[in-house]
Amino acid sequence: MAFFLETLIGGLMAGMLYSLVALGFVLIFKASGVFNFAQGAMVLFAALAMARFSQWVPGWLGIESKLLGNIAAFALAGALMLAIAWVVERLVLRHLVNQEGVTLLMATLGITYFLDGLGQTLFGSDIYQIDIGMPKDPVFLLENVFEGGVLVNLEDVYAACVAALLVAALSLFFQKTATGRALRAVADDHQAAQSIGIPLNRIWVIVWFVAGITALVAGMIWGSKLGVQFSLTTVALRALPVIILGGLTSVPGAIIGGLIIGVGEKLSEVYLGPFVGGGIEIWFAYVLALVFLLFRPQGLFGEKIIDRV
């Protein structure tokens, strides 16, 4: 039982991190109706900015405290993501209002390569470390209940808590604020939203900035665990099954989908892997996503689109 709980908790922790990356896709899609292929590049770019600023800022400002240095680095990286959002809206999205979805999709591919090149130019292409103070030593819990206790990685627990807080904040933002409701209106119909006075350009800057902050938090966590390297862009690929499962338009769906994928990967690898030679964790999520595409393409919480002619 203790081993099962360790596997289950590990899956839940991984699932929260998948959800965090998937949120970036959901946010952009909800505001523009386009699948943002640049989300992986945004995670990498934000992580590079955080890693390098945390090295540079203490020297620039004469800060000796690591905590204050990280806070200042996060603020600078956030400001940079705001600048990226403004540039994307000014140079790309503004000129593609009411265009076909495939046009916007190709635009996000261009943004991907732009951010990849800009990140290398500004911050270099080495492997960098992000130290945000999360403990890395595992601990044993429930020792009085199970013999030997349950082994839990504290870094995963802290990361999952941060991800859960951000997810909760974004859910409240979309449901309870006027800006969040405006974002949903823009996603439904650009022209109708403009006709009732919703400033489309400002809304797109806001949503790309929020997606950038989400990418920054995800990049910090993944960078702390794995190091900041260009393979981080592939983290976005792990989030694709999450949004297919949860629904491309649902913030709660991204959470539930991430948890299901995370737990399913861990449990299948541990309990089914020995019978098929291992490696289930690599392809489990994609097979599950394929099943959903065949039988419920809108996902668990996505909106079913009906076109009437």
pLDDT 10s digits, 177-235? 887 777 767 766 666 767 777 777 788 888 888 888 988 988 888 888 777 887 777 77
Kindly state whether residue 308 falls inside one of the protein's structural domains.
no
Vertex 111: Cα angle to 109 and 179 (nearest 5): 105
Which residues does residue 140 pair with via DSSP β-bridges, in sequence order?
151
- Closest listed residue to residue 128, CA positions, set 182, 241, 196, 50: 50
The answer to whether position 151 is within a domain reads: yes
Q: What is the pLDDT of residue 13?
A: 81
Structural domain includes residue 303: no
pLDDT at 302: 67
Is residue 76 pLDDT above 90, yes or no?
yes
The answer to whether residue 306 is domain-embedded is no
Residue 102 tokens read as: 């495939």
Whether residue 300 lies inside any domain: the answer is: no
Report yes or no on whether pTM surpasses 0.75. yes
Within a domain: residue 236?
yes
pLDDT tens digits, residue range 91-145?
887 787 667 777 888 888 899 889 988 988 899 878 888 888 777 777 777 667 6
| Residue 46 covered by a domain | yes
Q: What is the mean pLDDT of the chain?
A: 81
pLDDT at 260 over 80: yes
Structural domains counted in the chain: 1
Residue 304 in any domain: the answer is no
Q: Domain of residue 15: give its range.
A: 2-295
CB 129 within 8 A of CB 232: no
pLDDT in the model for residue 97 = 67
For residue 219 the two structure tokens come to 């990049």
